[in-house]
Structure formats: structure tokens, C-alpha cells
Amino acid sequence: MHTETQPSEAQPTITVRVFRQRFSATRKAARLARLLTAHQLDEWGIPYGSDSSDIAALIVAELAANAVTHGRVPGRDFGLGLALDAGGSLRIEVTDARAERRLPATPPLTPPAESEAGRGLLLVAALAETWGVTERQVGKTVWATLRS
């Protein structure tokens, strides 16, 4: 007896890789967040020194620097989250504890010429596919997405 079976319509497998880490709100920890990002992406198959790795590390560096400079609350950490989906989309999240320092929905087009600061979000906006700010019960999360 021969029976013919129809191929089952299985749901596609979705692989999401996630990395989360908390850091003390210091400049040294912001640097560590950048280095761990490059390391984690390499573990996920996005090689050190590739455009995707370098762009992700730069975005993390800018957002982490903002978290420790402008979002710092004494005694509170900042968080880094990375999520890579099966389609190659990377989401970067940096969370801080300061809610009263709101970020603009869009960065100013040009920072003051005499200012040594104010260019980080311009870099994030230029390098990321999308970015934004999500308010939390305590603090905020600044996120960016890019294709790996």
C-alpha cells in the first residue's frame, strides 16, 4: 500500500540571538560596551572589522557615551541590548535611568560650531536605518536598527 503525503506547511524557523549586559555608568564601561558589541557580533558571524561590525560598535559607543554623560543617575547602571534576527536585522538598545533628560525626536541638523559635543545623535541618525527613544517607567531606552 502506498500513501502519498503532502509536505507539511511548517512555520519558518526564526532565530533571534540576544545579548544583554548591565554596566556601571562610567566612561570605561561605555568603552567596554563598544568592545563587547564587536566581540558578540563576531561570535554571531559578523566579523571584526567588517562594515557592519564597525557601524554597530560606533552606534553603541555614541549611545553608551550619552548614557554615562547625560543619562547617569548616581548608583544606577546603564544597559546594553543587542538582538540579531534571522533576516540579518540588528537592534541595538542602550538604556539609562534618567527620565527627565529627554532626547529630541530628531537630532539638530547641525550642532553649534563652537561646541565639542552634540554630534553623536547625528552619527547615529546617519548610520542607522531607524532609531528612536522609548520612555520607560524609570529612564529611557535609545535604540537603533541596522542591517548586518
Domain range summary for the chain, segments of one domain joined by +: 17-108+119-147
Instruction: List per-residue pLDDT tens for the chain, 148 residues long.
Output: 444 445 556 666 566 899 999 999 999 999 999 999 999 999 999 999 999 999 999 999 999 999 998 777 777 889 999 999 999 999 999 999 876 655 555 555 555 556 555 577 888 989 999 999 888 888 899 999 998 7
CATH class for the domain made up of 17-108+119-147: alpha beta
What is the C-alpha to C-alpha distance for residues 27 and 4, in angstroms, rounded to an integer? Answer: 64
pTM of structure: 0.80
DSSP 107: -
pLDDT of residue 10: 62
pLDDT of residue 5: 46
pLDDT of residue 78: 94
Concatenated DSSP letters of 18-68: EEEEEEESSHHHHHHHHHHHHHHHHHTT--TTSHHHHHHHHHHHHHHHHHH
Nine-digit cell string for 92: 541595538
DSSP 93: E
Q: Any residues with CB less than 8 A from the CB of 133 and at least 6 apart, and which?
A: 102, 103, 105, 140, 141, 142, 143
Q: Which secondary structure element, helix H or strand E, spans residue 69, and what is its range? A: helix 51-69
